[in-house]
């Protein structure tokens, strides 16, 4: 069987959708004999999946094109006779697509928070999203929160949507001890205890709220942990500089930039607290990874983050810096941190790839075999994937 994917999220440093897609591809390669086509608008020197050999091949036009132009002109014709199913991983489908398809929606933030996305992102998503919903043979949401967001836009599409959550690689696990904690603190926080948020530095991640809350925390407790914001710079950098300028102790905020998965795991394992202050998420993979590492977690009340945490994190109202500061103060108490770490280790058992990978194998087998409806797809140990 030959499965094609919109693989644009694999270009450049891995974040969100790219991390999910790489995990899905590796899981499918390990558990099936299928072959995979990675569809791109241009050739790239390296995707980081070379170890998959001929099981995963790149197809791209001879002359590189802008992503949206490529998607709606040559992407579909290039698949004719080459793929048994196509997975649209970024919420939009190519026009003129004759190949049986699955549309995956991670979040609707270009629509729900348009001011927090670039003009290009808003156009590429919003101009084709509803059309793609109508043409999708099978619709997959990455969380119940995302399906609820679709229900507010197109209830009929939400009714037929499957929910197959993202998952955490077993690489994100608790450390054997704190032997490496001192090294991590030296590299990222000037040798001091720290709070950390992982993710691209862009407006919708709630970073301005977190910076304000950290400033308040330091005002009450001058010896409070440092703050590490680990992630590549997103768009609209002016807002970040303004938020940093308002921080009362700028030297206590550390911006190491994008970190690889080894450094990300170290940061999560040794943080006093992991914080996700996002205004909205489709899933919140860094939170799931933090729980996998047994970290004490604090997150906003964005529905997807509440869903992923499953009671294993403390939550605050989105955008409320004072509430976050108070919660950080509370969660830093040793007894509360121990409770949160124990809860994280318990919750992590439900966030692995076994269930989602089984659901994807069943779904893709069905779609490639010519069955367009979702049927009664189930995830082992988690009931029906479709309510």
Domain ranges of the chain: 2-167+353-368, 181-348
CA distance 202 to 110: 13
CB atoms within 10 A of CB 155: 9
Burial of 167 (0-12, 13-18, 19+ CB in 10 A): buried
Position 246 scores a pLDDT of 96
Q: SS3 for 298?
A: strand
The structure's pTM equals 0.90
Please identify which residue in the block is written with the tokens 């050739």: 43
Position 306 scores a pLDDT of 98
The 10s digit of each residue's pLDDT in 60-87 is 999 999 998 999 999 999 999 999 999 9
Phi/psi for 254 (5° steps) reads -120, 130
DSSP element (H, E) containing 35: strand 35-39
CA distance 322 to 258: 28
Nearest to 229 by CA among 258, 204, 265, 193: 258
CA distance 322 to 298: 14
- Using 70 as the pLDDT threshold, list the residues of the chain that sit under it: 110-126, 177-178, 235-237, 371-387
Tell me if domain 2-167+353-368 and domain 181-348 are identical in fold.
yes
State the Cα torsion 15-18-20-22 to the nearest 10°.
-130
Pairing of strands 162-163, 2-6: unpaired
CA distance 142 to 376: 17
Position 238 scores a pLDDT of 86
CA distance 258 to 329: 27
State whether CATH 3.60.90.10 applies to domain 2-167+353-368. no
Q: Which tokens belong to 357?
A: 């990978």
Q: How far apart are the first and last CA of the chain?
A: 28
Specify the CATH superfamily of domain 181-348. Glycogen Phosphorylase B; (3.40.50.2000)
Q: SS3 for 134?
A: helix
């Amino acid at each position: 069987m030959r499965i094609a994917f919109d693989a644009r999220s694999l270009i450049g440093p891995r974040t969100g959708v790219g991390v999910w897609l790489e995990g899905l591809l590796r899981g499918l390669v390990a558990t099936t004999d299928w072959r995979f086509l990675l569809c791109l608008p241009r050739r790239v020197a390296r995707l980081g999946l070379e170890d998959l050999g001929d099981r995963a091949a790149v197809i791209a036009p001879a002359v590189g094109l802008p992503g949206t132009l490529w998607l709606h002109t040559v992407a579909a014709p290039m698949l004719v006779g080459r793929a048994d199913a196509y997975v649209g991983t970024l919420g939009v489908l190519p026009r003129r697509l004759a190949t049986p398809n699955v549309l995956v929606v991670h979040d609707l933030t270009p629509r729900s928070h348009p001011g927090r996305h670039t003009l290009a992102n808003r156009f590429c998503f919003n101009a084709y999203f509803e059309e793609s919903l109508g043409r999708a043979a099978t619709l997959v949401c990455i969380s119940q929160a995302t399906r609820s967001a679709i229900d507010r836009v197109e209830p009929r599409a939400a009714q037929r949507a499957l929910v197959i959550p993202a998952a955490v690689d077993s690489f994100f696990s608790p450390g054997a001890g704190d032997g490496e904690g001192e090294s991590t603190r030296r590299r990222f926080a000037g040798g001091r205890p720290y709070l950390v948020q992982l993710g691209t530095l862009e407006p919708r991640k709630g970073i301005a709220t977190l910076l304000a809350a950290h400033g308040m925390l330091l005002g009450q407790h001058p010896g409070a942990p440092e703050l590490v914001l680990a992630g590549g710079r997103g768009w609209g950098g002016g807002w970040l500089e303004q938020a940093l300028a308002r921080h009362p102790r700028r030297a206590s905020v550390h911006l190491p930039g994008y970190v690889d998965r080894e450094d990300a795991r170290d940061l999560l394992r040794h943080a006093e607290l992991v914080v996700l202050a996002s205004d909205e998420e489709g899933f919140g993979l860094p939170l799931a990874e933090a729980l996998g590492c047994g970290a004490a977690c604090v997150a906003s009340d964005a529905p997807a983050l509440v869903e992923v945490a499953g009671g294993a994190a403390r939550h605050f109202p989105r955008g409320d810096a004072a509430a976050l500061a108070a919660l950080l103060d509370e969660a830093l108490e040793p007894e509360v941190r121990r409770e949160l770490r124990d809860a994280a280790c318990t919750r992590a058992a439900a966030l692995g790839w076994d269930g989602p990978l089984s659901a994807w194998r069943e779904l893709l087998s069905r779609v490639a075999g010519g069955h367009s409806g979702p049927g009664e797809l189930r995830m082992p140990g988690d009931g029906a994937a479709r309510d």
